[in-house]
Structure 1
Amino acid sequence: MNKHLIAVALATASLTLTSCADESTAQSAPTAQHQPIDVAKVIVKPVQSWHTYTTRLESPQEVALMPRVSGVIDSIEFNEGDLVNKGDVLFQLDNRSFTAKVASLEAQVNSAKAALEQAISEATRAVRLTQRKAISTEQAQARTSTLRQREAQLAALQAQLTSAQLDLEFTSVVSPIDGIISRANITKGNNILAGQSVLTSIVSNEKMYAYFDIDERTWNSSFNDVSAASRQPVVMQKVGQDDFAYSGYINFIDNQINAATGTLRVRAVFADNSGQLRAGSFARIKLAANAITETVIVPDRAIGTDLKNRFVLTVGENNVLQYKLVTVGERYGSLRAITAGLTEGDVIAVNGPARVGPGMPISPNTVTIDTSGIAFTLGNSNNQLVAKQ
C-alpha cells in the first residue's frame, strides 16, 4: 500500500514539473519581428511626355574678319577674348600711302572744278555771241562740247576720290557686329591682302541657336500643331550640369522633311544675357509634347529589374509584398511615370527590392512621395519649363 502511494506521488510530481517546464519555454519564446519598410501610396499627376535631343550651339552671327584693302598692320587695338562692339577699331593699317592718294585726287578735283567753271563761262559767252552772229555755229558747239568733257572729267575724278577715301577709311578695320573676339591671327608689321587674310574671328553672344532633328513620327504625333509663331518652350542642359537650367523656345521649323533621314530640322533660340553659353558647346535639349495625360508617378528607385522586365513591390493583404510588372514612361527628376501595371490607390515599397522581395511580410512605415521642385507640365504664367529635370 505504501509503495502504491509513493508511485502515485512520484507520477504527480513528474507531471507538475513537465507542465511548468512547458509553460516556462512558451513564455521565453520571442515573438517574430517583421522588417520595417518605407511604403507610400502612388500619386497620379497630369504629365507631358519629354523628348530629348543632342546638339551643338551655334551663334546667330559669326564673322571671319578680313581686310578690305591690302597693307601693313600698324597696330592691334583690342585685347584677345574681349567683348567688342560694332564699329570698334580692331586693326589699324599703315595709311600714309592712302592719305597721299586722297590728297592727290582732291587736288585733281579742284583743278577739274576750275576747268569746268572756265568751260561754263566760255559756253555761256558763246551763246551770246551766236545770237549776235559774232562767232560761227561750229565754234559755239565746240565750246559746248568742251563743257561736257569738263563735267565728265570732274565726275570721274570725284568717283576716284570717293573710292580713295573709302580705302583710307578701310585702313581702320572695325568690328561689324557685337560679340566676343578671338585671338589675332596676324600680328603687327605683317602685310595683309584684301579679302584673303583672316585677321581674327568674332562670335555674337547675345543669343545662341540650337539645331536638332525630330523624327517624322514623333513630330506628327506630338508636335503637329506647333509652328515657329507658337514659340514652343524648350530647356537645355550643358555638359557637366545636372539641371536643365536654360530656357528657350523654337523659332524656326524647316519647310520639308528630310527624305533621306525621315527627320525635320528645327531650331531653338536661347537668350544668353549672362555670357554663359558659347558657340560649339555640346548640349541636350528637352521639349514637352503638348498632350497632357493623367499618369501614375512613383520614385525611380522603387522600380526593380528582373531580366527584361521592370517591376515594383506592392503591399498586399497582411502587409505581404507582391510582385507587379510595370511599363515605365518618362523620368521627371527622381520620379518616373508608370504607363501600365499600377493604378491610383496602390501602395508600393518606395525603396524597391533592395532589402526585400515578393512574398515577404513587412512592417510598413508610411511616407509621402515628394514632388516639390519637379515639373510635370509646362509652367503656367510665363509658359516656361520652370523646374529642374
Structure 2
Amino acid sequence: MLYARYSPEYTFTTRLESPQQIELRPRVSGVIESVEFTEGSVVEQDDILFRIDPRPFDAEVRRLEAELTRARAALQQAQSEAQRARRLQGRNAMSEEQAESRIFLASQRQAELASVGAALEAARLNLEFTDVRAPITGTASNAFITAGNNVQAGQSVLTRLVATDRLYAYFDVDERTWNSAFNGVDASGHTQARLQLAGNDDQSYSGRIDFIDNRISAQTGTLRVRAAFDADGRILRPGAFARISLTASEARPRVMVPDRAVGTDLKNRFVLVVNADSVLEYRRVELGDRAGALRVIESGLNPGDRIAVNGPARVGPGMPVTPRDVVIEQQGLTLLEAVQAAEPSA
C-alpha cells in the first residue's frame, strides 16, 4: 500500500466552439451571378465567395460620375459669377442684394457638389460589395443561395464560416469542486487541459485554460471556464462533443493500493488486510480515482495497514497466511510513506 501525494482528475463534458462564427450576408441586394468557392473548403480572408450581378450598380456609378461633372461645372459658373458680383459691388455697379444672391448660389453649388461626391462614393462601395468576400480565414459551409436567386442586403444568409485554427471548450465547474480542487488555477494559460472526443479513448489533445469567468452563477452555483485548443488538422471541429479533464492544482495525501487488491461481494468493495497474527481480515473500503495500476482509497484503510496485494483472487477472509513483502510501483507519485504489501503464501 502507498500513502502518497496524489492530484485527482476531474472530467467535464462540453461541445467545442469556434472563436469566430459568421453568417455571411450580402451588403447589397441583387441577383447572385455566381458562387466562387468550393463548398466545405477552407477559404482565406478576402477571398471572393459570391458575385452579385454588378450591372445595375455600375450604371449608377456612371450616372453619378456624370452628375459630378455637371455639379463641378455648375459650381465653377457660380463661383465665377460670385467673383464678378464682388467686383461690381465694389464699384457700386450692383446692388448688395444681387451680389449676396450670387455668393449664396456659389455656396449652394459647393454643397451640391459635395452631396453628389458622397453619393458617388457610396455607389462605388455598393459596386465593390457585389463581390462578397470572406471576412475571416476559416472553413465554409455549403452555399445556401445559388446563382440566379435574388438576395436582400443584410438579410439573406449566403453561407456560414467558422474559424478552425483554434477551438474553445466552455464548461461549468461547481463552486465546491472549484474551491477545493482548483482554487490556485488562473487564466494565464499555464494550467493544462486534456480533451477526449466521443468515440475516441485517447486524451491526445492538449490545451490550456485561458479564461475564467468573473463571477459564480447564483442560479446554478457554477463557474464558467474555458480551455483553448489548437486545431489538429480538421480532426477537431466546432460543435463536437468532448470531455475535458483537469488535474487538481494541489496534490493531497491519499492511501493507494493496486487495483487488483480490491474485491467485490456484490454489495461492497473490500480489501483483505493482514493483521498482527498474519490472518486476513475483511475491510470494506470506498474507492476513489484510478492512477495507472493504483486505486485511491477514500475510506476504510489507514497508513500502516498491510494488505494482500492479490486480494480475493487467491485467498479469503479468516485465512492464516505467511506474507511475503512485495514492492508497489509509485507511478510517479510523491511518496509520503510506503508500507510493503503482502503477497500471501498459504
What's the TM-score, normalizing by structure 2?
0.86
CA contact (8 A) 1:64 1:202 kept: yes
User: Among 62, 68, 87, which residue is 1:103 paired with?
Assistant: 62
- Structure-to-structure mapping, 1:75-224, within 5 angstroms: 75-224=34-183
User: Among 255, 270, 285, which residue is 1:311 paired with?
Assistant: 270
Rate the CA distance shift 1:344–1:86 in 2: closer, same or farther, 3 A: same
SS at match of 1:266: strand
- For residues 219 and 179 of structure 1, the distance between their equivalents in structure 2, rounded to whole angstroms, comes to 35
Shift of 1:106: 1.1
User: Among 294, 315, 325, which residue is 2:253 paired with?
Assistant: 294
CA contact (8 A) 1:296 1:343 kept: yes
What per-residue deviation string (whole Å, max 9, x for no partner) do you get for residues 215-265 of structure 1? 122222233344334653322211112222222232222333322222222
Shift of 1:115: 1.6
- Structure-to-structure mapping, 1:239-388, within 5 angstroms: 239-315=198-274, 321-343=280-302, 348-360=307-319, 368-370=327-329
- For residues 260 and 145 of structure 2, the distance between their equivalents in structure 1, rounded to whole angstroms, comes to 57
Amino acid at match of 2:21: E
Shift of 1:320: 5.4
Shift of 1:197: 1.4
Shift of 1:343: 4.8
Rate the CA distance shift 1:239–1:334 in 2: closer, same or farther, 3 A: farther
Q: CA RMSD in A?
A: 2.6
What's the TM-score, normalizing by structure 1?
0.77
- For residues 279 and 354 of structure 1, the distance between their equivalents in structure 2, rounded to whole angstroms, comes to 47
- For residues 165 and 183 of structure 1, the distance between their equivalents in structure 2, rounded to whole angstroms, comes to 29
- For residues 303 and 26 of structure 2, the distance between their equivalents in structure 1, rounded to whole angstroms, comes to 69
Shift of 1:369: 4.2
Amino acid at match of 1:205: T
Residue 340 of structure 2 is matched in structure 1 by none
- For residues 245 and 376 of structure 1, the distance between their equivalents in structure 2, rounded to whole angstroms, comes to 22
- For residues 362 and 66 of structure 1, the distance between their equivalents in structure 2, rounded to whole angstroms, comes to 79
Q: Which moved more, 1:57-66 or 1:310-319?
A: 310-319
Q: Does 1:57 align with 2:6?
A: no
- For residues 88 and 220 of structure 2, the distance between their equivalents in structure 1, rounded to whole angstroms, comes to 84
Query: Where in structure 2 are there 5+ consecutive unaligned residues?
Result: 335-346
- For residues 230 and 186 of structure 1, the distance between their equivalents in structure 2, rounded to whole angstroms, comes to 41
- For residues 330 and 27 of structure 2, the distance between their equivalents in structure 1, rounded to whole angstroms, comes to 60
- For residues 290 and 227 of structure 1, the distance between their equivalents in structure 2, rounded to whole angstroms, comes to 10
CA contact (8 A) 1:313 1:324 kept: yes
- For residues 292 and 208 of structure 1, the distance between their equivalents in structure 2, rounded to whole angstroms, comes to 29
What per-residue deviation string (whole Å, max 9, x for no partner) do you get for residues 89-146 of structure 1? 1011111111111111111112211221222222223222222222221221111111
- For residues 242 and 319 of structure 1, the distance between their equivalents in structure 2, rounded to whole angstroms, comes to 42
- For residues 328 and 39 of structure 2, the distance between their equivalents in structure 1, rounded to whole angstroms, comes to 52
Higher helix share: 1
CA contact (8 A) 1:332 1:376 kept: no
- For residues 333 and 94 of structure 2, the distance between their equivalents in structure 1, rounded to whole angstroms, comes to 99
- For residues 198 and 330 of structure 2, the distance between their equivalents in structure 1, rounded to whole angstroms, comes to 26
Query: Where in structure 1 are there 5+ consecutive unaligned residues?
Result: 1-41, 378-389
Shift of 1:71: 1.2
What per-residue deviation string (whole Å, max 9, x for no partner) do you get for residues 117-176 of structure 1? 222222223222222222221221111111111111111111111111111111111111
**Could you say which structure has the larger radius of gyration?**
1
Amino acid at match of 1:155: A
- For residues 80 and 143 of structure 1, the distance between their equivalents in structure 2, rounded to whole angstroms, comes to 62
What per-residue deviation string (whole Å, max 9, x for no partner) do you get for residues 331-385 of structure 1? 224432123344556554445423442344668787654565xx769xxxxxxxx
Shift of 1:321: 4.2
